[in-house]
Chains A and B, each alone.
Chain A
C-alpha cells in the first residue's frame, strides 16, 4: 500500500510518536491538573512541556496561550463562537474548508453574524499579496471584527499571504484567525511575526501526532468565551469557568495520550525541519505534475501553485472511479469534494469532484512514478 493522503492525516506515524503514546498509556498517564499524586503531577508536567514545545514551535511567547482542543475544527469553532459577538461582520476567503464555513453559516442563520467572502485565489490569473489584501480591504465594513482564512488550501497547493493579511488586520483593528490545518508542520508559521490572534491547529496532520488533539494558540489579550463548560481542576467551588487561559477553554479531561504523541511529533518535525518537509513534499508533487500534465484528457487544478497537494480530474473517468481503481492497485488518495465545496467551486472542478494526491515526507520519487504509471493505465484502459 502506498499512502498518498497526507492532507487527510499523516500515516504512518513516526515510531517516536507511537512510543510516546504507549508510554503515556502504560507508565505516566494520570489526569493532569486534578490531583496531587505522582501520576497526576507527572501528566501535568508532560502536558505543560507540550505547551512549551508548541508555543516555541509557533513563536508564541507564552505557553499558557496554547489551548489544547480535540482538533483544528474545534479550535476554529472555539475561535469563532468564543470571540465573535452579536452583530459582528466577518470575512473569509474563497478557499475555505467546511470547518470554517459551516460554523459561519450556523452563526449567520441564527442571526448572530454576517460574513463576506474575499477572493484569495483566481484560477484565471495569479493574485499578488497586495491584490488579495486589496480584495479584503474592499469588503471591510464598519462592523467587521474578524478575518478568518486558511493558510494553505486542502485541495490544491495555493497558500495565502498570511503575514500581509495579518499586518492589514492589525492596522485596521480586526481580529485575525488562521486555519493552519494543512500548513502546520509543513510551512513555517509565526504567531508573533504574522500577527495572528488565533491560530487553529490539528495535531494529526503535519505535526505527526495521533488524531484526537489539536490546539488553538491565542495572541496576547485574546480571551475567548468557552465553547463548553466543566471541570478545570481548580477554583472548583466557583460556578463559572476560570478567567485564565488555558483552563478557561479546556473543560474536562484533556486527551493526554494524544497530546503526548503530538509533543513527540513536534520534536520529529523540528528535527527534520519544516523547510525540508516542505521542499520534499513539493518535489514529489512537482514530479507527479510533470507526468500528469502529459496525460490526455486530464485536468490539473491550480497547476501554477507549488506545494504538497495536487488535484486533478479526467474527462474520461469520474474521480470516484479513478480513486477506486487506484485503491485496487494499492494507492491511497482521496476523491470527491474534500469537505471544501467553496474551494472546489473556486477551482471549477466538475460534478463529482476531483482526485487529490498529497504525498508526505516519507514518500519516495519511485512511489510517485508508480502512481503516475497507474493513473496513465487507468485513464487509457
Chain B
C-alpha cells in the first residue's frame, strides 16, 4: 500500500479490490500510485476507492488502465 510518489490527481476505481488490481498494473509499468478512500467525492455513490497518481502521469495511468480493460474516472477537484 506504500506509494513512492504521490501528489495531486486521483482516479476513482470503485472497490478496494479494483483499486489494488489497478495499482499493481500501474506498478508493473513503473508508475507508482497510492490507494486512497475517496468517499462522497463521486456523486451519490458513497464509499469508494481511488488511486492517487502524480498529475504528470495521469494520462499515462489512464491509458494503461484503459488498455487493461479497467474503468477509471478522474476525480474532480483533485488537481
Contacts and interface: CB of A to CB of B under 8 A. Distances in A.
A96 interface: no
B1 A247 contact: no
B46 to A, nearest CB: 3
Interface in A16-38: 32-33, 35-36, 38
B46 A238 contact: yes
A86 interface: no
B47 A233 contact: yes
Interface in B7-30: 14-18, 20-21
Contacts of B15: 33, 232-234, 242, 244, 247
A41 B35 contact: yes
Given A35-B37, A41-B1, A234 B46 contact: yes
30 contacts: A33-B17, A35-B37, A36-B36, A36-B37, A38-B1, A41-B16, A41-B35, A42-B1, A44-B16, A44-B20, A45-B1, A45-B20, A48-B17, A233-B15, A233-B47, A234-B15, A234-B16, A234-B46, A234-B47, A234-B48, A235-B14, A235-B45, A235-B46, A235-B48, A236-B47, A237-B44, A242-B14, A244-B18, A246-B17, A247-B17
B17 A236 contact: no
Contacts of B47: 233-236
B3 to A, nearest CB: 12
Contacts of B14: 234-235, 242, 244
Interface in A210-251: 232-238, 242, 244, 246-247
Contacts of A246: 17
Interface of B: 1, 14-18, 20-21, 35-37, 44-49
A143 B16 CA distance: 39
A302 B18 CA distance: 47
B16 A33 contact: yes
A6 B72 CA distance: 46
A367 B29 CA distance: 53
A312 B16 CA distance: 50
Contact of B16 (A63, A233, A237): A233
A29 B54 CA distance: 30
A247 B17 CA distance: 9
Given A45-B1, A234-B46, 4 more contacts: A41-B16, A233-B47, A244-B14, A247-B17
B46 A236 contact: yes
B1 A234 contact: no
Contacts of A63: 21
Contacts of A89: none
A8 interface: no
A306 interface: no
Interface string A54-91: 00000000011000000000000000000000000000
A145 interface: no
Contacts of B36: 36
A41 B20 CA distance: 10
B17 A51 contact: yes
B18 A64 contact: yes
Nearest to B16: A33
